[in-house]
Amino acid sequence: MELNKGSEPLAIKADKNEVTLDVLNPENNAISFDWTTGSNQGTNAAITYLFELDIKGNNFADPVSIDLGRNIFSQTYKMEEFNNLLLNTFGQEAGNSVELEARVTATIYNDNVKPEISAPVIIKVTTYKPVSKALYLIGDATPNGWSADNATPLTKVTSAPGGFTWTGKLTPGKFKFITTLGEFTPSYNKGADNSKLYFRENGDDPYDEQFEITEGGSYKITLNIITLAFHIEKGAGPEYTELWFVGNPSGWSFKAMTVDALDPYVFHYNADLSAGGEFKIATKADFDASVVFLRPAIDKTPAGTNLDVVKWSENEKPGGENDYKWDISGGIYKISLDTRLMKIDIVPFTPFAMIYLVGEATPNGWDIGNSTPMTATSNPHVFTWTGALKTGELKFTCDKKSDWNGAWFTATEANKAPSDDVQQMVFSNPGAGLDNKWKIETAGTYSIELDQLKETVIIKKI
């Protein structure tokens, strides 16, 4: 190792005198500083280096200091790193240019040699406004409606700065994007057309155009909040739009399953299956040899969750070979089949002892501790209520949890209008975050009938 560092004076240089930081390339190198070794004055003593960066003219009164130790002769900053340093540490405004000074101090570990400080190098840097690291979908077309607190998160595209994507079910209605849960601005709205975004920084901006869905279904959204590019495409949809439960509990008659209100790939069958025994799922209400059935991977698989599902038809396996079936004890069950993941949950159902009304439309408003109880009937799954409702929102709590993180029956979409007809509900498990509500537009006397097994409700003005 060379211990004599010679007599060359300490000097620092930058690989460029001026740099415009680039939001599109956060991981690219923005600037590099290099320096000579300096001199230990022939003492063979070790030298350590201190790098300092400050605003030009500040005389390094409050610099960013990096103690680099020995044998380090450069300091490099990436685009995003350098931009954050200027905005957050030096308090510079985004989009402005600023002159900086950098210097290096060499400390020689010999009491007879004073530290050496380089002459500063001056650079000019132009910053950019950072973009959000998170993005959320909000609107009556989206799974969680206009609730900013429960807006639906998009997935960040790590390979594309500013890129986000989301795939899921959208219903007829409008939507836009927000950057912060609980806040309606900043937002990204519909731009000049359906391929452009518009950045709305705050509520003072009157422009609040939204994208619109006219046909419900599965959609894929890709966008970039830097380039403001936007693309949405309707998916091909699920392989099956109808499925049937069939087996010993149904007397081997075909019983239509219910398509999930939020996910067309998921089907439900909630029923009294007291007879117990074998069952499978049919893709057509027919025992023809060509019909595809959905059955377990292992014959006589009992009730459980996240169970594997396999396709089978007699044409593929003549003579009934591998015609496996689930085999359950008699009881009340909620069955949920996900045709996307090919998984099934077969879960015994214990009804809640009481269901309660809560919301500004109800007699006790949002006071969950005093939420309005319904009336039990001879059927433990069915509750009724008759009384006065005000205008406003309504949903149903199953357990009156004071932290609001309990079990709920919610609407299938935000601001759902009541109907004299049977409406599907969504059961929201604790922590699920689903919060769509019914919207009572006309105050008056209403009758409500709720079936917690079938997950249906009738809200009728009388």
CB-CB contact of 63 with 54 (8 Å): yes
Cα 399 to Cα 12: distance, rounded to the nearest angstrom: 68
Find the helix or strand (DSSP H, E) in which 84 lies. Answer: helix 79-84
Mean pLDDT value across residues 128-149: 93
Give the range of the structural domain holding residue 42, as residue numbers without chain letter: 12-126
Higher pLDDT, 3 or 277: 277
Do 342 and 404 lie in one domain? The reply is no
Choosing from 234, 260, 285, the residue where a domain stops is 234
The half-sphere exposure of 95 on its side-chain side, counting CA atoms within 13 A, is 2
Do 204 and 255 sit in the same domain of this protein? no
- For residue 97, give both structure tokens: 């240019």
Asked if 249 and 337 sit in the same domain, the reply is yes
Statement to judge: residues 312 and 343 lie in one domain:
yes
The mean pLDDT of 426-446, rounded to a whole number, is: 88
- Classify each residue of 287-310 as buried b or exposed e, where b means 16 or more C-beta atoms within 10 Å of its C-beta: eeeebbbbbbeeeebebeeebebe
Residues in CB range of 241: below 8 A, 6 or more apart: 259, 264
pLDDT confidence bin for 358, thresholds 50/70/90:
very high
Q: What is the 3-class SS of 357-371, one letter each residue? A: EECCCCCCCCCHHHC
- Taking a C-beta distance cutoff of 8 angstroms, is the pair 339, 266 a contact? yes
Q: Is the peptide bond before 130 cis (omega within 30 degrees of 0)?
A: no
- Please report, for the domain that includes residue 387, its CATH number: 2.60.40.3620
Residue type, 381: H
Where is 80: in which H helix or E strand?
helix 79-84
Examine residue 214 and state whether it is found in any structural domain, yes or no: yes
Please indicate, yes or no, if residue 239 is contained in any of the structural domains: no
Number of domains in the chain: 4
In a domain, 57, yes or no: yes
pLDDT cut 90: percent of the chain above it: 81
Element (H, E) at 344: strand 343-348
400 and 313 within one domain: no
Cis peptide preceding 115, ω within 30 of 0: no
Residue pair 267/148 in contact by the 8 Å Cβ criterion = no
* Model pLDDT for residues 199-223, shown as the tens digit of each residue: 999 999 999 999 999 987 788 999 9
Q: Are residues 411 and 341 part of one domain? A: no
Domain boundary among 75, 91, 126: 126
Tokens 């239509």, residue located: 256
Q: Residue 364's Cα: distance from chain center in Å?
A: 33
* 237, 261 Cβ separation under 8 angstroms: no
pLDDT tens digit string along 234-259? 887 788 889 999 999 999 999 999 99
Neighbours of 55 (CB within 10 A): 18
Same domain, 98 and 165: no
With 90 as the cut, is the pLDDT of residue 40 above it?
no
451 bridge partner residues: 382, 456
- Please state the rounded mean pLDDT for residues 333-351: 96
Mean of pLDDT values over 291-313: 96
Q: Is residue 435 part of a domain?
A: yes
Q: pTM here?
A: 0.52
User: Would 1 be classed as within a structural domain?
Assistant: no
Q: Which of 348, 364, 379 is the last residue of a domain?
A: 348
Exposed (0-12), middle (13-18) or buried (19+): which is 70, by Cβ within 10 Å?
Answer: exposed
Domain containing residue 194: CATH number: 2.60.40.10
Q: What pLDDT sits at residue 171?
A: 84
User: Is the per-residue pLDDT at 326 higher than 70?
Assistant: yes
Q: Is residue 2 part of a domain?
A: no
In this prediction, residue 44 has a pLDDT band, given cuts at 50, 70 and 90, of confident
Q: How far apart are CA 367 and CA 375, in angstroms?
A: 19
pLDDT tens for 95-119 read: 999 999 999 999 999 988 899 999 9
Provide the pLDDT for residue 71: 92
Residues 360, 454 share a domain: yes
Judgement on whether residues 371 and 305 belong to the same structural domain of the protein: no
Q: Which residues pair with 177 in a beta bridge?
A: 137, 188
Q: CB-based contacts of 187: which residues, under 8 Å, 6+ apart?
A: 176, 177, 178, 179, 199, 200, 208
**Neighbouring C-alpha atoms within 13 Å toward the C-beta of 306:** 0
**365-424 tens-digit pLDDT:** 999 999 999 999 999 999 999 999 999 999 999 999 998 889 999 999 889 999 889 999
Instruction: Give the model confidence (pLDDT) of 155-194 as tens digits.
Output: 988 778 999 999 888 888 999 999 999 999 999 999 999 9
pLDDT at 203: 94
For residue 1, pLDDT beyond 80: no
Number of Cβ within a 10 Å radius of residue 4? 12
Q: Which residue has the tokens 């998170």?
A: 134
Cα–Cα distance between 380 and 253 in angstroms, integer? 25
Evaluate whether 155 touches 184 at the Cβ level (below 8 Å). no
Identify the DSSP state of 248: G
Strand partners, 169: 218
Q: Is the pLDDT of residue 2 over 50?
A: no
Residue 4 lies in a domain: no
**Residue 114 within any structural domain of the chain:** yes
161 and 25 Cβ atoms separated by less than 8 Å: yes
